[in-house]
Amino acid sequence: MYLVPLVPGTDAFERAVDCYWDIYAYSSRGRPDRATAAATFARHADFPGYRGLVAVEGGSAVGYAYGYGSRPGQYYHDRLRAALEADAAERWLADCFEFVELGVAPRARREGVGSRLHDAVFAGVDYETSVLTTGVENAPARRFYARKGWELVHEPFPPGEDPEPDAPALAVLGREL
């Protein structure tokens, strides 16, 4: 397995979106279709401080991860700021890298792919803190992030402005960098 930059317009980008869609196609947690996922990935690549990687093995993506600098006016930044107490918002969002996506294909889980992607993305990040969201009840992800030094910042955090009634609540995790 090797890591390559997650850059729109490249084969690696297309493979990463395929990997995302393989993971989330039948889940209520993902984007509604592959095209929307690709457009979101591409739009995020233009954000300040963007850093993204794809894990490739045997010619296909087995994982992907990316994030960017959190700024006022961005969707999640503003939603997080509104949800957090003022001092928590200042602590976690003032100089923050939003860790937006980390996905590993089911066939490659528990083989260190997620750890390699996580660590490699953060190796080049120059911010004071980072935040992410994951499902409140996603125990494997929460254990993974706890091992990586993430702590609970806030829960429950609604998954959208107008979430589906059965949409899982999210937990906001933070990590000092």
What the block records as the tokens of 33 is 């279709």
State residue 168's pLDDT score. 76
Amino acid at position 128, single letter = E
Q: State the helix-helix crossing angle for 75-83 and 86-93, rounded to 10 degrees.
A: 140
SS3 76: helix
State residue 24's pLDDT score. 77
pTM of the model: 0.91
Q: Which residues in the chain show pLDDT less than 50? A: none
Domain spans of the chain, in order of start: 2-176
On the CB side of 15, CA atoms within 13 Å amount to 22
For residue 50, what are the contacts with CB-CB under 8 A and spacing of at least 6? 44, 66, 67, 68, 69
Instruction: Report the 10 Å Cβ neighbour count for 94.
Output: 11
State residue 34's pLDDT score. 80
**2-176: CATH architecture:** 3-Layer(aba) Sandwich (3.40)
